[in-house]
Structure 1
Amino acid sequence: MQPDACSQQRSCEALKAPRFPILTWDEWQPGRSPRRVFKIDWLIPGESLVSILWKFACANALPGEVLMRLMCPDVDPLAGVIPLRSTLNLTELRRLLRLSENVLRTSLLDNLPRDRYHAAFRYCRQCAAHGYHSVLHQLAEEDRCAAHRQELRTRCPQCHRQSPFVINSSVIEAPFRCVWCRAHFCYGRLVVRSTTQAMRRQDRHAIRDRVLLRLGTDASGVSNG
């Protein structure tokens, strides 16, 4: 019996290479410079480095441990680093992500006293639904999202535990999700690879204005919609 056309088509599709092939550590070594998938249009003003790295890792199917080795070769990937300007090399980040220094500086917390920012990851559920986390969310003085006016949360809606505000291999591999139970922070399931600007223009402008007010920068290079 001859296989039907639909079966043949399904077999061919199953043999196709994935859209974002998983790269090995050797392929991602700095000297090899593989082609990387990333667009500035995926970012919103004031986007935190954690949020940027989630998009970068997902777009390139890049394991968290490999990304940590590329960014911080002298740091234990599981321990990670707090995303402060003093703990990360901006030159290396620019080379890796190919983003402007202004965008990267805005994505990191300044060298603030520990009581000025939250050690636990804080988020707005609506922002998370758009694949966005703002560096403003971590500031102690900010209680609500600038765009949606929702109270910022620290606890997982599923297990009620707090995820740390750090960059490590475990956090990178849980984009917009709880690092403990992997529940999504947003309402429903998030497609991180989407490049569609789902957030309303007025919300993006509200975030931009708040970033300018609090951080003294307009995050030049990031589209405002």
Structure 2
Amino acid sequence: MSGARILLDTYREQAEQWCWRTEWHIQGESALTLFWKFALLNQLTARELAPLITNRTSGRRSKICVKPDIDLRDASVFDLDQLAHMFRVPTARIRRAFLYEILPGSVLRSHGHLRWCTQCLNHGFHTPLFQMRQTRTCPIHEHRLREECPACGQQIPFRLNNPFVLKPFYCPRCGFGLAPAMNQERPELLRLRQEHISNLSLLLQFHRAADADQVDVNDSDRLFISARKAGIFHVNVEEHEIHSRYASFIAHVVNDVAPGLFKKRSGLRPEPVSRYECGCWRPIKSDDDDEFADHDCSSADGEQIDPASESCLSALIDTYKAIRRRLWRQVLWKHQRCVRSAAARMGWRVDGQRTGAFCSQALAFIRWRMLWEGCGTPRYLFAKPALEYYGIVGWHLARPCQVPSHWSTPTKAWISSQIFGATCLAAFDEVSSWSETACKNEIIDWTRSKSAIDHTCLWAVAGRDCCDRPATVYLRNPNASRSGMHGAENLAVHWQRHQAQIERLQR
């Protein structure tokens, strides 16, 4: 009988590996989608994921492993080399997935809740630049960023916690699917083309340029404390994009109301500011010979409306009509035929469509009116209005007058009218610049990138609403006359070209 032989298992011990698909990584994406994809592929909980990705030298590691709750803008607690090994990409790319790495010191100018483009996230992409307050629209799809869940209306924390990886690409509060395409067996991921990468690079350069001209945090805190001491009410910082101008404007107002209270630093550039003092308030009435034959747009359904709010809204509508008449008679008087002919030609709803170009001045006026009147069909702009001015109503509801409630209703209406008037003129300048660019490209994209409530101006209010200290409104000087709108050198040639262009307009 031969001797028995014992065979030992000599297979090499396999290194611990995690499931990952290299093609799932998209250049420029944030840590949010990276961790969501990893958790989706490996079915990990937050407590299982945290020990793999946190830095072993971090003093917060023990606490994070027990109860994960990490800000996804900050890379300080993550092991970037380990992440690079897990996702099989260079460490530099992983570093660019965190907002504070590409824009240091942006904590005061970024949001701690998720802001996303629905199309980008549906295909597995989210950039950390979406978290910046100044980023309003997606540079790839030109859609307005969402900030709340469409189902429950709640904001989603931009943090890695237990609900974060429980169901990746779902709302952690109600379970609504934020990216239906990612649930497919072979999801179609976003592939960035060269123009998309260029747009993201330009957006990053914009934010970095803003950093170079930012006001120090301590100085800004002292500035706003001084404004409160002086009894100044001002526009919120989230509503304006250029922070250096914002700080310079507030500093100018503080020095005018309470000289010596705040010492303006050399880094704050002087801003042109207009000062309006409330006197005997009187609403602006429409002329009898109004070209547009506007009618009262008060509520006709019999509902009870707050008298103060109704008074302010009525003042806003009267202010809008006065500005519209001024633009029509003094700025666009050479192009009135262009405006009427273009509006009469487009008898369909143009929102979301593309048409050929025509007179840029006519396009600017039509688009500006559509913005504030809430009208999607240009032809109806010169018909008897059947609906309320939804753009103005939306602006009024989104920006109630922030002065003390005990101030008189006429004063509140006067303040709202002053702020709204400057906003209207600033919006017209912006729309005019857009129209000139669109007409040069000979293609007009009627997609709404901004609504009426997105527009505002730099404003501040001081005073006490009394005889010795009347209410005072400070506004940054707008280009009220829109001097940049040039008239055609040869009106006859311009009119013939415009007629030929509108003849080619079709739905």
In the superposition, the TM-score normalised over structure 2's length comes to 0.33
Q: Does the C-alpha gap of structure 1 residues 193 and 95 become closer, same or farther in structure 2, counting only changes over 3 Å? A: farther
Distance in 1 of aligned mates of 2:28 and 2:186: 17
Report what 1:168 is aligned to.
161
Report what 1:90 is aligned to.
80
Report what 1:149 is aligned to.
142
Q: Which residue identity does 2:197 align to in structure 1?
A: R
Query: Does the 8 A contact of 1:118 with 1:140 survive in 2?
Result: yes
Say yes or no: does 1:64 pair with 2:46.
yes
Q: Which residue identity does 2:144 align to in structure 1?
A: E
Q: Deviations over 1:27-79 (max 9, x none)?
A: xxxxx842322133212221111101111111122222201122234315644
Distance in 2 of aligned mates of 1:177 and 1:204: 27
Distance in 2 of aligned mates of 1:86 and 1:103: 15
Is the partner of 2:111 in helix, strand or coil?
coil
Q: Does the C-alpha gap of structure 1 residues 79 and 66 become closer, same or farther in structure 2, counting only changes over 3 Å? A: closer
Show the 5 A alignment for 1:95-110. 95-110=85-100
Q: Identify unmatched segments of 5+ residues in structure 2.
A: 1-13, 55-60, 206-507
Report what 1:182 is aligned to.
175
**1:213 offset after TM fit, Å?**
2.8
Instruction: Select the residue among 114, 129, 132 that pairs with 2:125.
Output: 132
Instruction: Select the residue among 151, 159, 176 that pairs with 2:152.
Output: 159
Show the 5 A alignment for 1:30-49. 33-49=15-31
Query: Does the 8 A contact of 2:71 with 2:159 survive in 1?
Result: yes
Distance in 1 of aligned mates of 2:35 and 2:79: 15
Q: Which residue identity does 1:129 align to in structure 2?
A: N
**1:106 offset after TM fit, Å?**
1.2
Say yes or no: does 1:210 pair with 2:192.
no
Distance in 2 of aligned mates of 1:137 and 1:150: 12
Q: Identify unmatched segments of 5+ residues in structure 1.
A: 1-31, 217-225
Say yes or no: does 1:121 pair with 2:114.
yes
Query: Does the 8 A contact of 1:121 with 1:165 survive in 2?
Result: yes
Query: Does the 8 A contact of 2:181 with 2:187 survive in 1?
Result: no
**1:89 offset after TM fit, Å?**
2.6
**1:141 offset after TM fit, Å?**
1.8
**1:82 offset after TM fit, Å?**
1.0
Query: Does the 8 A contact of 2:53 with 2:83 survive in 1?
Result: yes
Distance in 1 of aligned mates of 2:199 and 2:185: 25
Say yes or no: does 1:191 pair with 2:178.
no
Q: Which moved more, 1:156-165 or 1:127-136?
A: 127-136
Is the partner of 2:121 in helix, strand or coil?
helix
Distance in 1 of aligned mates of 2:196 and 2:152: 29
Question: When you count strand as a share of all residues, which structure comes out higher?
Answer: 2
Question: When you count helix as a share of all residues, which structure comes out higher?
Answer: 2
Q: Which residue identity does 1:191 align to in structure 2?
A: M
Q: Which residue identity does 2:43 align to in structure 1?
A: A
Q: Which moved more, 1:85-94 or 1:115-124?
A: 85-94
**1:192 offset after TM fit, Å?**
4.6
Report what 2:304 is aligned to.
none
Distance in 1 of aligned mates of 2:20 and 2:126: 17
CA RMSD of aligned residues (A): 2.5
Q: Does the C-alpha gap of structure 1 residues 36 and 156 become closer, same or farther in structure 2, counting only changes over 3 Å? A: same
Q: Does the C-alpha gap of structure 1 residues 204 and 168 become closer, same or farther in structure 2, counting only changes over 3 Å? A: farther
Q: Deviations over 1:168-199 (max 9, x none)?
A: 2321223222111110124xx33357555443
Query: Does the 8 A contact of 1:58 with 1:193 survive in 2?
Result: no
Q: Does the C-alpha gap of structure 1 residues 168 and 210 become closer, same or farther in structure 2, counting only changes over 3 Å? A: farther
In the superposition, the TM-score normalised over structure 1's length comes to 0.70
Is the partner of 1:167 in helix, strand or coil?
strand
Report what 2:305 is aligned to.
none
User: Identity of paired residues, percent?
Assistant: 27
Distance in 1 of aligned mates of 2:86 and 2:117: 28
Distance in 2 of aligned mates of 1:208 and 1:172: 28
Distance in 1 of aligned mates of 2:185 and 2:136: 28
Distance in 1 of aligned mates of 2:120 and 2:66: 27
